[in-house]
Structure 1
Amino acid sequence: MPAPCVVIPLPSRDYDPSEAALAWRQLRDAGYRVCFATPDGLPATPDPVMMTGEGLDPWGLIPGLRKLKLLGLLLRARRDAREACAQMLADPDYRQPLRHERLRVEDFAGLLIPGGHWARGMRAYLDSADLQTFVAAFFAADKPVAAVCHGVLLVARSKTADGRSVLHGRKTTALTWALEKTAWDLTRFYGRWWNRDYYRTYPEAPDQPAGYMSVQGEVSRLLASPADFLDVPKEAPAFWHKTSGLHRDTAQDERPAWVVQDGNYVSARWPGDVHTWAKRFITLLPRP
């Protein structure tokens, strides 16, 4: 019997390599086949800045200095994610993705939705009517869904027949405004001066308060109550590890991770949660 297939939809470009590739590797190691889908059926391209770290420092436009990285080392994907992404890019299923419009719920055992933040590639993904319809159908079938970072925004925008978000009445987390603002501040004040909104997929309009267009802001507005968006409580063990933005989980250390599960839906905030998030998702899938 063939292994159950999990589908990972991606934008044409600029997805986060850590969130996609580390989850892909865990799924493959657990015995699952992983299929991919893109808007045009062509292989997706990960965010090159997250892969290399080049272009995050203030000298990032200078050819001779681009490879000198300070902020780039802090903010880019970690080595294990870069190695996993290189392996994923060579996978035959990755090289022959499906098209978003042709996805059918009955073909897959699970749906995993990574994120990314660079507006040039991510907005079309987050706005995709094809993907929103597919996500809503997956929730209607009560099959396992995992979403992280901006991927939760795609889920929240997916509507049920009554016009409400599929997350209405559910608990979730996503990229928090605190984490989003920290990365944004680091690059707009100390690094990427020529593109200060690199970390803001949707910056605020002049009449909107700070954080209104953040992932947390929009997702919270689509929930039954803003209280259904769960951030790390101050009494949580390893609170500093979970919230500082300086620590990421590993296969052996879950302390930095914050993962929220509500039925067959598992959500997480950022690449620092991915090992734990993928592990929790795998427990919901049918055994290979």
Structure 2
Amino acid sequence: MKILFPLPSRDFDPTESSVPWRALIDAGHEVVFATPDGQPAAADRRIVSGRGFAIWRQWLRAVTHARDLYAQMADSDAFQHPLSFDQLDPEAFDAVVLTGGHAPSMKPYLESEQVQALVAKYMLDNKPVGALCHGVLVVARARDPKTGRSVLHGRRTTALTNAQERMAWAMTGLWLGSYYRTYAQTVQDEVTQALAAAADFETGPFLLRREGPERRDYGFTLRDRNYLSARYFTDSYKFADEFVALLAEYAGG
């Protein structure tokens, strides 16, 4: 199957993108990247290097395995030759993965009308859609043209939670300012407003350990029909395996 990965020009999360990418490639799928201008993207350098996180480096920097996967992804031919958002043809792909990230440079991707229109079509056409962290905002902002409502209306989802977003901001705000607040409104609050009921947003358990390839079932995800969501980089390995399994169901069907 051919899977679309739209990305911003820079500052996306390296774990939330590279871990699903590797799982999809290993499962035999083709991944096609797209960026606002058709130029290769770049992950958030701070999360890759850990510089600027001070005492929180071990908690906020991507783990070694994810950094290695990101280097592999960044060197791939597909990553180096992305489409532009203007070139996106919804008929050309079988599924879409919406990666996360929080720095302000995410906004051209999160606010892209082309990406939102494609996601809306896939949600309504029952094609697989996966979203992590801020990527869920793209789904929440995608509108059903018949009703004008978000395509998440009547669905269950998770996303970056208020607790996670506010904790990261509190840990770094003294010297990084609003680095962990992409928008004044939190992700959870905006996504919840798009739902039919506040109870349709699930926060999942509070997790203390770091993620990694040795515990691929660690984390929290939520599936509603063709839609799979996750909260944060700690859920990336579990999300990756479950999205591969979702694709297998659709390929078999």
Q: Does TM, normalized by the shorter one, top 0.5?
A: yes
Distance 1:260 1:94 in 2: 28
**Aligned positions of 1:49-60 closer than 5 A:** 49-57=46-54
Aligned partners of 1:174 and 1:269 also within 8 Å: yes
Distance 2:203 2:52 in 1: 30
How many Å apart are 1:56 and its aligned residue? 2.1
Distance 2:213 2:51 in 1: 27
How many Å apart are 1:252 and its aligned residue? 4.5
Distance 1:56 1:276 in 2: 26
- SS for the counterpart of 1:243 is coil
Match of 2:194 among 211, 222, 228: 222
Which residue in 2 is equivalent to 1:122?
A: 106
CA gap of 1:179–1:129, structure 2 versus 1, over 3 A, is same
Aligned partners of 2:16 and 2:232 also within 8 Å: yes
Which residue in 1 is equivalent to 2:181?
A: 200
Which residue in 2 is equivalent to 1:31?
A: 28
Which residue in 2 is equivalent to 1:264?
A: 226
CA deviations over 1:40-69 (Å, ceiling 9, x no partner): 110001100010011222xxxxxxxxxxxx
How many Å apart are 1:249 and its aligned residue? 3.6
Aligned partners of 1:173 and 1:259 also within 8 Å: yes
Give the RMSD, CA atoms, in angstroms.
Answer: 1.5
AA aligned to 2:133 is: C
AA aligned to 2:238 is: T
**Aligned positions of 1:164-179 closer than 5 A:** 164-179=149-164
Bigger Cα Rg = 1
Distance 1:249 1:151 in 2: 19
How many Å apart are 1:117 and its aligned residue? 0.2
- SS for the counterpart of 1:117 is coil
Which residue in 1 is equivalent to 2:140?
A: 156
Distance 1:13 1:115 in 2: 11
Aligned partners of 2:59 and 2:210 also within 8 Å: no
AA aligned to 1:81 is: A
| Pairing 1:132–2:116 present | yes
Distance 1:255 1:106 in 2: 32
Write 1 or 2 for the structure with the bigger share of helix: 2
Distance 1:152 1:266 in 2: 10
How many Å apart are 1:103 and its aligned residue? 1.3
- SS for the counterpart of 1:112 is strand
Distance 2:233 2:216 in 1: 13
CA deviations over 1:172-208 (Å, ceiling 9, x no partner): 000000011111111124xxx1x311100012xxxxx
CA gap of 1:266–1:215, structure 2 versus 1, over 3 A, is same
Match of 2:168 among 155, 158, 183: 183
- SS for the counterpart of 1:147 is strand
How many Å apart are 1:104 and its aligned residue? 1.7
Aligned partners of 1:157 and 1:165 also within 8 Å: yes
How many Å apart are 1:86 and its aligned residue? 0.3
How many Å apart are 1:253 and its aligned residue? 2.4
Distance 1:11 1:115 in 2: 10
Match of 1:103 among 88, 91, 95: 88
| Pairing 1:277–2:239 present | yes
How many Å apart are 1:20 and its aligned residue? 0.3
AA aligned to 2:190 is: E
Aligned length in residues = 249
Find runs of 4+ consecutive structure 1 residues off by over 3 angstroms.
248-252
AA aligned to 1:116 is: G
Distance 2:178 2:217 in 1: 30
Aligned partners of 1:249 and 1:255 also within 8 Å: no
Aligned partners of 1:248 and 1:273 also within 8 Å: no
Distance 2:92 2:66 in 1: 28
TM-score (norm 2): 0.94
Match of 1:243 among 174, 190, 206: 206
Where does structure 1 lack aligned partners over 5 or more consecutive residues? 58-69, 204-212, 233-241
| Pairing 1:46–2:43 present | yes
- SS for the counterpart of 2:8 is coil
